[in-house]
Amino acid sequence: MNKQLEMLIYKLINEQGLSLEEYEFLIKNRTIESARLLAEAAVKARKKIYGNTVFIRGLIEISNICKNDCFYCGIRRSNYSCQRYRLTCEEILECCKEGYGLGFRTFVLQDGEDSYYSDERLLPLLKDIKSLYPDCAVTLSLGERSRESYQKLFDAGADRYLLRHETAEEEHYLKLHPENMSYVNRMRCLKDLKEIGYQTGCGFMVGSPYQTNRQLAMDLKFIETFRPQMCGIGPFIPHRDTPFGNQPAGAVELTCYLLSVIRLIKPNILLPATTALGTLEETGREKGILSGANVVMPNLSPVSVREKYRLYDNKVSDGAESAQCVEELKKRMEAIGYTIITDRGDINKY
């Protein structure tokens, strides 16, 4: 293997960080051999902390109504062919009840950016979930809100918050979002979330339009310096009714490569093998886990709305992607040597 690549991998393992130029080199010059070496080291690092366990999260897509118009997203405001829905608090509690019975101990509440879920509505809901299921964690993924709102939701019991930064380069951010959305505000949100005390997750799409290796290197540098507790990365997949409908999808191979690098940057990070990975390839989830991921998030939304939360074409929500089929997921994980456990699955601070 290229000596320089090999040296960079050892540096990453030992120092948990590289310079921007080095990250870029690692991406640009990747080979099958460097991917193998990185995955091996990433799996070793993750096993040292989490053993063979895989954490599961029950993903409840509470609404696909969105005020934003992100160019890549199938539930963007301007997509008039998207059939909109919103779950009531009672329906969300029903999902939690079913999920608890299936062994889920984390519920992830994700929406578009739907102002229906005001603090006044969310605070009693959070209190209900936490009092009914005190052994469960709640993760929110409700987009950009004020610091005050994040604080109130945290005080009401929310444990974690997922907000992908989407790209760590402002110019690229502007190419993916309309003018009224701001990179600076997104970063403000992430900073607030972390300061408030949430287990905070950032993340980005791999292969999003206009993305360069330099920008991916900047994403890695951002993760290295921001030190999130979670990181969601998955391939970009086009949705036919968006401005990026004709753009090519990102690659499973590069996504897995970056999963390994991120595991080595922060060995205890909670790293999901995302639905997008499982959508592009039947064994995408397994490939993610074998590259260093340690979380899967099956869909716990009511079956009647699953088809409507379509961020990209052909998004899977059945089989191992469905919370009801957690037994199938268990078998698939066991087949590659991993065990799904019933646990909140918090970050191991070690």
Looking at 29-85, list the stretches that DSSP marks H as alpha helix, in order from N- to C-terminal side.
32-50
Q: Which is nearer to ligand SAM, 34 or 139 (CB)?
A: 139
The structure tokens 């909140």 sit at 344
Based on CB atoms, which residue is closest to ligand SAM, 312 or 338?
312
Shortest CB 312 distance to ligand SAM, Å: 4
**CB closer to ligand SAM out of 5 and 176:** 176
Q: Locate tokens 């029903």: which residue?
A: 94
CB 314 within 8 A of CB 350: no
Nearest CA to 127 among 118, 138, 116? 138
Q: Could you give the CA distance from residue 179 to residue 51 in angstroms, rounded to a whole number?
A: 45
Which residue, 43 or 73, has its beta carbon nearer to ligand SAM?
73
* CA separation for the pair 53, 59 (Å, rounded): 19
Shortest approach of ligand SAM to residue 254 CB, angstroms?
14
Cβ atoms < 10 Å from Cβ of 94: 14
The answer to whether 349 and 231 have CB atoms below 8 angstroms apart is no
Q: How far is the CB of 99 from ligand SAM (least distance, A)?
A: 19
CB 58 within 8 A of CB 108: yes
Of the candidates 294, 307, 303, 302, which has an alpha carbon nearest to the alpha carbon of residue 339?
294
C-beta of 24 vs 111, nearer to ligand SAM: 111
Going by C-beta distance under 8 Å and a sequence separation of 6 or more, which residues neighbour residue 36?
none
Shortest distance, CB of residue 186 to ligand SAM, whole angstroms? 9
Least separation in angstroms between CB 203 and ligand SAM: 7
Rounded to a whole number of angstroms, the minimum distance from the CB of residue 51 to ligand SAM is: 29
Sequence-ordered list of residues with C-beta below 8 angstroms from that of 98, at least 6 positions apart, any chain: 300, 323
Residues 6+ apart with CB under 8 A from 187: 165
Least CB distance to ligand SAM at residue 189 (A): 9
Least distance between ligand SAM and beta carbon 272 (Å):
12
Q: For residue 296, which of 277, 318, 268 has the smallest C-alpha distance?
A: 277
- Pair type for strands 199-206 and 230-235: parallel
Q: Are strands 53-56 and 295-296 parallel, antiparallel or unpaired?
A: parallel
Q: Which is nearer to ligand SAM, 152 or 165 (CB)?
A: 165
**Residue closer to ligand SAM (CB basis): 25 or 236:** 236
Cβ-based nearer residue to ligand SAM, 69 or 343: 69
Q: How far is the CB of 36 from ligand SAM (least distance, A)?
A: 26
* Separation between Cα atoms, residue 172 and residue 186, nearest integer Å: 13
Q: Can you tell me the distance from the alpha carbon of 20 to that of 24, in angstroms, rounded to the nearest whole number? A: 6
Interface residues with ligand SAM (CB under 6 A)? 72-73, 110-113, 141, 143, 163-164, 166, 205, 234, 236-237, 239, 276, 311-312
Cβ proximity to ligand SAM, 5 vs 273, nearer residue: 273
